[in-house]
Amino acid sequence: MARLAMTTLDDAERQLDAALTRLEGVVARLSGWREAEALADRRAASAEEEAARRVGEAETAAAAALARRDAATAELQDLRNRCDNLGRELAESRESAQRAAAEAARRTADLESRLAEGEAACQRLSAELRDMEESATREVARLDDMCQRLGSELAEARTLGERLESAARDAAGRLRDVLGPDRGDV
């Protein structure tokens, strides 16, 4: 009978040791998962900050391009008004009006060219802004998926930990049962 109790006690101790070893492994994996989750959170925050910075830069550049375009448009309108005045003075001095008209036409073409460049730059910056927003959206979605996977793995690890704790309590209870009430506390 004593030999059977010792054998059962030894088996219970081995099971308890095995359960504790598995529990330690699960705790180590859980720690690793928590570190990975924290790293993913830091990366997501960094990606969001970078996207916000780039969006801010693009918006600033777009606003500057729009301001340049508005200034060029105002200057163009001013030149057109001056051309009208020169047209009225044409009767007085044809030669003077021709020189002024040629100058106005040159400056008008230059301003229209600058206006076209400004509009092209604005369109290019708008496209870059859209590309950056799409890229940031994809990165955030990827990080969200990673967080969800890590959350699922963490839930599985917690469930496994609870099972192992339950198995350890059961093994300890069986060990107490085997030892009897007078054999000490386990």
Over residues 14-21, mean pLDDT: 88
Per-residue confidence at 2, pLDDT binned at 50, 70, 90? Answer: low
pLDDT (tens digit, 9 = 90+) per residue, 87-127? 788 667 777 657 777 888 898 888 899 888 889 888 998 88
CA distance 65 to 71: 10
Q: Given this model, what pLDDT does residue 177 score?
A: 86
Place of tokens 């036409």: 105
Which residues lie closer than 8 Å to 121 by C-beta, 6 or more apart?
Answer: 61, 65
Model's pTM, two decimal places? 0.31
Per-residue confidence at 3, pLDDT binned at 50, 70, 90? Answer: low
Q: What are the boundaries of each domain within the chain?
A: 2-179
**23, pLDDT greater than 80:** yes
Q: What does the block give as tokens for 105?
A: 């036409």
Contact 58, 125 (CB under 8 A): yes
Q: Into which CATH architecture does domain 2-179 fall?
A: Orthogonal Bundle (1.10)
pLDDT (tens digit, 9 = 90+) per residue, 58-84? 899 989 999 999 998 999 899 889 888
pLDDT (tens digit, 9 = 90+) per residue, 137-180? 998 888 888 889 989 988 998 999 899 999 989 988 898 888 87
CA distance 157 to 138: 29
Q: Given this model, what pLDDT does residue 5 score?
A: 64
Pick 60 or 136 by higher pLDDT.
Answer: 60
